[in-house]
Amino acid sequence: MTTGIGSSTPMTLYNSYIKSIINIIIIINITPCPCTVMQTLLESKTFFIDTLSADASFVLQHAEQSKIITKREYSNLNHPNHTQENIIINLLDKVMNKGDDTCRRFLQLLQDNELQENFPGLKEHFRPPQPALYDEIGEYKMSSVPRGLCVIINNIVFEQQSDNRAGSEVDEKSLIEVFSWLGFTVEVHRDKTAPQMKDLLKDLSQKDHEGDCFVCCILSHGGGKEVYGTDGGAVPSEDIFGPFRGTSCQSLAGKPKVFFIQACRGRKYQLPVQVQADNLGGDDAAEEAVLETDTLEMITIPADGDFLVARSTVKGFYSFRSTESGSWFIQSLCKQLTTHCPKGEDIQSILLCVNEDVSKNVSKLNRKQMPVQRVTLRKKLVFRVPS
């Protein structure tokens, strides 16, 4: 009878050896590769700490609701003496200590819509890789501080008082808020005559633009190939865009030049719900024919690259503006920029959302509106929100 290791028979030792080999084979073939998902979480730990520390209690609540942590763990983690950052650090450590499956469920939680709405950086972090063609297109640089100059030309008070554009001050305020938030230096120029607008645009083109982008918002009455000054004079497209060609404005060569134009052509009239059309002159009797059949030529842009012109309406139609809440186009533009810029969406995708949004509006007289864009951009244009 054997009484210890030293006295084990060769057969006993052989069986023990075979059993050990079998156990090793089982471990190698059955046990999952250690902590693949945990490694993913660990590699992004610093990002998650920086992002989620903005509202640690919100994250803890959702982690507890999803049964990633228990109620007791929630209470321990949500210690009143802990900083937001310490709470998230302890939460991440707790999740990783629970193993791969818990790590996987926590990463899935961070991709939930409610979490990503509260922490916009999460959506960009989990964005799937873009196709090769998307990468090849590239993206305009958008990192300068400030990003560039945003000029707002807002014609409200006209020489003919009946042409005044009530409600345009609401658009102006919205544009100031959004483009200041996007990191632009904002300049506002109100109530300019046609000669003053031409001189202003020419002077702007002569500036040394050190930023990454130039934005110009023109809010006025308009026609087929022009917008109007407060004197009723026309400013043709060549005087709007021509000064900013690469040959005329070297400091903007190769940089995106973006124009948002709130204006239209048609017969001036007042809707019962206090919605006005941004147009000049005309006869109310011809209103219906103009809305349905007028052939408006679009403002043209230079053949040069790096231009984007977004107009509030397509040819033949009015561009509506509420005297109380601003224009359909500018208000939608500001709303969509606010919603989608933090997600890293490019401007052309955002303008599709504007088209969809504005096209759903209907006045009480069953009038509708469809914005339009003309683009010679060579790359993706993304308005990166400054941190």
Active-site residues: which are they?
A: 221, 264
- Cα 86 to chain centroid, rounded: 31
Is residue 255 a contact partner of residue 213, using CB atoms and an 8 Å limit? yes
Q: How far is CA 132 from CA 125, 135, 142, 348, in A?
A: 19, 5, 21, 19
**Residues near 335 by beta carbon (within 8 Å), at least 6 away in sequence:** 357
Is residue 152 a contact partner of residue 219, using CB atoms and an 8 Å limit? yes
- Cα 215 to chain centroid, rounded: 15
Tokens of 184: 């632009």
- C-alpha 162/C-alpha 98 separation (Å) is 71
Q: Phi and psi (nearest 5°) for 339? A: -75, -45
- C-alpha 272/C-alpha 321 separation (Å) is 13
Cα end-to-end span (Å), the chain:
77
Tokens of 247: 């040959």
The closest alpha carbon to 73, from 48, 92, 47, belongs to 92
The closest alpha carbon to 37, from 90, 81, 99, belongs to 99
Dihedral of alpha carbons 324, 330, 335, 338, sign? negative
- C-alpha 175/C-alpha 289 separation (Å) is 33
